[in-house]
Structure formats: structure tokens, C-alpha cells
Structure 1
Amino acid sequence: MTSTNQVKTAYHHGDLRSSLLQAATDLIAEGGVDALSMRKLADRVGVSRTAPYHHFTDKHALLSALAEEGFKSYERAVEEALAGATSEDELLFRFARSYLEFAQAYPETYNLMFGQSVWKAGIPTEHLKTEAYHCFRRYVEHVTDWQQQGLLSEQVEPLHFAQVSWSTLHGLARLLLDGIYIDLKHLDELINLAVKMFRNA
């Protein structure tokens, strides 16, 4: 967790927006979305209570920004995982595992990326929608590539496959975070089963 002094140091170096995002993440981790307010955020960072509004118009814009950064971090994690594959057969497993590992490592961010706090409770910012849809389109591109490589059947429309397979991983992630039905001990076994299902689709 970033300390108040560390955040203040970052602010004095001209990086207030990043400091606000980090402090907001810390506050959500400590008490959930309801524990976050623009006033508490300013106090945590050590700036005036009007300072956060220079970067985020309101709390919802702040939550959207956190979700947006989450999609960027997730995509970097996936690309890094895929780049480390030693064979084509390993690509699907690495993709699925990187998805679930990200959800487990950053549960608060994951919940903002896909939860009701942003998408149902208000209007997502255009920046967030752009990043979220870009992230999914990138996955559709991967699916198309994997079909051309013979890893997946070409009988299924890439978009439809992406929607169903992403939903499968999201369901596994949700159960993992909620602590019901699945646990880390059997995660690789479940991923292998999911990959077999994907390849047999």
C-alpha cells in the first residue's frame, strides 16, 4: 500500500493524477467503493479538497478512470503471458491463466472493470468505453489468429467464440473471487478443462 508521504512526494513531482488513482485504489481495497469519496481522496493524498476535481469531474469519473487503467494493465499482462509461450498449444492456457491471475491479483480493479459500480450505476466515460472495447477487439483478433493456426475451429464465428469463452473465464474469475465452488488448488485443472472445451467448440 502506498503511504501518504509517498503519495505527497509523487504529487510534488507533478504526478497528481497517478497519485490520486493509487490512493483511490488503496481506499477501495480498505473499505470498498462506498468508502471512497473525493474528500477522503484529497485528504489521503494531502491536497486541497478541490484538487481532485481538476482531474476527475466526480466520483464516477474517477471510478471510470480506475477501470480504464485496469483494462490497460490487464492487456499488458495478457500480451506478456502470450509472448512467453513456448508452443502454439500453450497459447490458450496462458491466455486463460493470465485472465484469472489478473482477477485474483487485483480484485478491486477487476470488479470496477466489469462490475455495476461503473457500467450499471452510471454512464461509463468515453475513454473507458474506448479502452474496454479495444481490449475485447484485441481478444477477437487473437481468436482469429488461433483459428488460422489450427488451435481453434474455424466453424465458429470469432466474435461469438470470444463472447462465450470470455464469459466462461469471467464466471470462473467471479467464483474464484467470491470464494465459492472453486479454489486456487484446482485452478490449473479447471483451466485445462476450459481450454479443451474451447478447442472442441
Structure 2
Amino acid sequence: MRSGCSRLPCSPLTTISATRPLSCGAPGNAFSLSSRCASVRYRSASPTDSESMLAFSTFVVSDPASSAHLAVRASLGQVVTAQPGRMSRPRSSKGRRQHGSYHHGNLPAALRNVAKELIAERGLERFTLREVARRIGVTHVAAYRHYVDRRALLAAVAENGFHQLRRRLEGARKKTPAALAPRLRAILAAYLHFCWDEPALTAVMFGPRLSRKGEFPRLEAAVMESLGIIVQTITALAPRHALRRRSARDLGLALWTFVHGFSTLSYDKAAYPSARKAAGAFDDMLTPTLVGMFGSRAAPPRARRPPER
């Protein structure tokens, strides 16, 4: 490239690299590009005027305070910083960290919590993973790093719900004496109140089956752990004759079906005017169910008949 301003080829993108200082301008009023590699990019200022291409992408000027440097900056209509010996690179939108980027204290837990809130507001069918990410303030790409799709997030929400349910049932078991009827009543009542307290979570846990082909083994394990508390109680405290007719698992599933059906009717269908009346009705219905499964010993003392003489 010769000294002095030369017209460059009018192409959409022109890059010049130089290993020695370049000068441009009339003698006595020149500025030099003294970096080892000076890149000049020309872009059309007007769609119809290809010869008006002039925009510096990156460059280094030996004297940033020189009048030539200031003139170039003014002609470009933009602010370009430059320091001797170092390339000044413009920031691109790709390199910037956007507000609410991937970095989050505990993103998986936040996704689960917000998903539960959305389901409570809109229902299970209108819940989307993108909307969850938007509410948290992260990109949907960040959300997909933890949960590959909507069903994976729902499985995580359900798994967390079954862990909460297990803790409720375990707490009820520990607070009651080691007798079959009072312990089962306490466990099943804790289940009922959990469904009442967490309707959105219950909808996910007992909604459409998520682990259809064993894709979510941790969810399956969490389900069995919750059911296991009922089964373990029956195994340890039920009379032997009751377990000869049916397995403890079958009896546990039957009780689970009973309490879950009652929770659905009492909450979703508002079959009772208050939670207190619903709890009383549940206890009354549970008595014949337990007696039918385990015999008269499962009935509460007030419901037992005096022995015949």
C-alpha cells in the first residue's frame, strides 16, 4: 500500500493486515497505524452507495490524542478507544453477558419452584419450560442444560414432591404408638393434608405418568419410598391372618387408592363445606375399611362392640 490515501476496492468487507506501520494522509499531517496487525473493515453507509464504505473495526494509533486520530473518530461518528501497543476490539452482543444469564445460585431448584407456581396459576396443560425460564430471568438454553424438556422438569417436580410426602408420612409414623390402627390413621391423615396443602404439586405427582419407559428411575424410587412407609407399617403391625390373604403391598396400595380418591373428591370437587368436616368424614369412612382389611382390632375403641355373653 502506497503512502497517501488510496481508494480501496469497494467490496462489502475489506481487511488489510500489515506487519509494519502504515501511514495515511498528506505529508506532514499523517498518522500511523503502528500495531503488528491493523484491521480495517469497510461497510456501506448507504445501501445504494457502495463507494461510501468507511468504518474502522479495530485499530491502534500511535498517538491517540493526535488531531488525525480525533478527525477519524469524528468522521466515523462513533467512539473508538485505542492504546499504544494493544489492539482495541469492539464489543459484540455475543460476548456480552446478558442480564439474568446462566449463572444462578441454584437454578434447578428455582426451576422446580417456579414450575410449581406456574402450574398453580395456569394448570398443568398450559405450563411451558420457556415461561419458567423467563420468569426466573435466565435463557431457555440455561434451563435446558438441567432439564432436556418439559417432561424432565415435571419429573423433577414430582420427585421432589414425593420426597416431601415421604417426610410427612415418616413424621406421622414417628409420632404415634406402635399399633396398627392409630399409626395407619395418622399416616393416611398426613397424606390427606399434604394433598390439601399442595394441590399443584399433587397434580404433577399423580397426573399423567411421566416415567413411561423407566426414563426417570429416581422418580420411581421416590414413589416407592412413599408407598413403602404404608407397606412397612402393615408388614410390622398387621395380624398374620390378614397378610395370608393379601400381601402388605396390595393392602398398602388399596389404602393409598382410598385416601387419594377421598382427597380428590374433597378438594377438587369440594364435596364438603370445610376441611374439618372433610377430615371427620374421612375418619368415619376409614374405620370400616381398616376393619375389613385387618379385623375388629383395627377399629377405634369407641367403635368396638362389647363382647357377647
Distance in 1, Cα, partners of 2:166 & 2:151: 23
Q: 1:117 to 1:107 in 2, by over 3 A?
A: farther
Higher-Rg structure is 2
- Counting aligned pairs with the same residue, the percent is 25
1:134 aligns with 2:225: yes
Partner of 1:153: 242
Equivalent AA in structure 2 for residue 116 of structure 1: P
Q: State which of 168, 176, 185 in structure 2 corresponds to 1:93.
A: 185
Residue 90 of structure 1: CA displacement? 2.2
CA contact (8 A) 1:93 1:195 kept: no
Moved more, 89-98 or 187-196: 187-196
Q: State which of 259, 271, 280 in structure 2 corresponds to 1:169.
A: 259
Distance in 2, Cα, partners of 1:180 & 1:124: 35
Moved more, 152-161 or 29-38: 152-161
CA contact (8 A) 1:112 1:118 kept: no
Equivalent AA in structure 1 for residue 259 of structure 2: L
1:188 aligns with 2:277: no
1:199 aligns with 2:288: no
Structure 2: state its 5+ residue gaps.
Answer: 1-99, 294-309
Superimposed CA distance per residue, residues 120-175 of structure 1 (whole angstroms, 9 cap, x where no aligned partner): 7x975222122212322332112111215x8x934432122112111111111111
TM-score (normalizing by structure 1)? 0.82
TM-score (normalizing by structure 2)? 0.55
Distance in 2, Cα, partners of 1:154 & 1:194: 19
Moved over 6 A (4+): none
Q: 1:124 to 1:67 in 2, by over 3 A?
A: farther
1:84 aligns with 2:175: yes
Partner secondary structure for residue 100 of structure 1: helix
Q: 1:123 to 1:115 in 2, by over 3 A?
A: farther
Partner of 1:115: 207
- Tell me the matched-pair count: 188
Structure with the largest fraction of helix: 1
Structure 1: state its 5+ residue gaps.
Answer: 1-7
Partner of 2:70: none
Partner secondary structure for residue 190 of structure 1: helix
CA contact (8 A) 1:72 1:131 kept: yes
Structure with the largest fraction of strand: 2
Q: 1:186 to 1:129 in 2, by over 3 A?
A: closer
Q: 1:68 to 1:21 in 2, by over 3 A?
A: same
Equivalent AA in structure 2 for residue 99 of structure 1: Y
Equivalent AA in structure 2 for residue 96 of structure 1: L
Residue 66 of structure 1: CA displacement? 0.6
Q: State which of 50, 58, 61 in structure 1 corresponds to 2:152.
A: 61
Distance in 2, Cα, partners of 1:95 & 1:188: 15
Partner of 1:144: 235
What is the root-mean-square deviation in Å for CA atoms of aligned residues? 2.5
More RCO (CA 8 Å, sep 6+)? 1
Distance in 1, Cα, partners of 2:278 & 2:260: 17
CA contact (8 A) 1:147 1:154 kept: yes
CA contact (8 A) 1:153 1:199 kept: no
Partner of 1:33: 124
Moved more, 102-111 or 83-92: 83-92
Distance in 2, Cα, partners of 1:154 & 1:39: 49
Equivalent AA in structure 2 for residue 168 of structure 1: F
